Amino acid sequence: MPSHEAWARASPDEQLRIERQWLELITGRATGESTSEVFAFEQLYRAYASRLHALGTSWLGVTDAFDVVQTVFLSVWRRRRELPADTVLRAYLLGAMHHRIRNARRNTAAHLRLVTTERGESPVAEPHDALEYEDALRAMLEGLPPRTRLTVLLYYALGFTRRQVAAILGISVRTVKHDLTAARPALKKLLGMVRSDGVACLLA
């Protein structure tokens, strides 16, 4: 079975093939010992944990991002038998991480409001990019066609190359470039709200 080291050296198409092998073992669809199932899950973790942690750190900080990453992978392990056979693992992980980041940010904001109210203080104002920016970001993403939205997330948020995005979505590199160019005007409108760590954190 290919390791995460072999995955890292592989071409985008080969990476997808390796991930499909991992998926078959993790979900129990491939014949093999339970040790193979655990090994495949470990390789998936080693391939994507650092990427997801980098994504979460830009919004939550190092410690909270680590906790969220562990929660995402724990959820994948517990629900592994329910994953459809056509699941694209990298897209699934990105979606799960994005969802949990949003929940964590909302819970933090609610906690701050509760604490200040209990102390008889004025409610703490949300950071500039916590509500206004999140609403603008959500509106921007929802305004993009589905394929363009996923292209933007894979390229900017997870840091995949154009070739890798093309392989994930089954489109040409030229189409990826076209989608990124089409999304550029919408992205530029948000640049005034972006922190100094750049556009990658913008799309967390």
What are the pLDDT digits (tens) for 62-71?
Answer: 888 888 889 9
Residue pLDDT, tens place only, 108-160 = 544 334 444 444 444 444 444 445 655 666 677 777 887 888 788 778 766 67
CATH domain 1-125 topology: Rna Polymerase Sigma Factor; Chain: A (1.10.1740)
Domain with CATH 1.10.1740.10 in the chain: 1-125
Give the sign of the dihedral formed by CA 18, CA 51, CA 150, CA 171: negative
| Contact indicator for 151, 169 with CB cutoff of 8 Å | yes
Q: What are the tens digits of pLDDT across the range 68-106? A: 889 999 999 999 999 998 888 988 898 888 888 777 766
pTM for the full predicted model? 0.58
Q: Please state the rounded mean pLDDT for residues 34-54.
A: 86
Q: Is 122 left (phi over 0), alpha (psi -120 to 50) or beta?
A: beta
Contact 110, 68 (CB under 8 A): no
Residue range(s) occupied by CATH 1.10.10.10 in the chain:
128-204
User: Topology of 128-204 in CATH?
Assistant: Arc Repressor Mutant, subunit A (1.10.10)
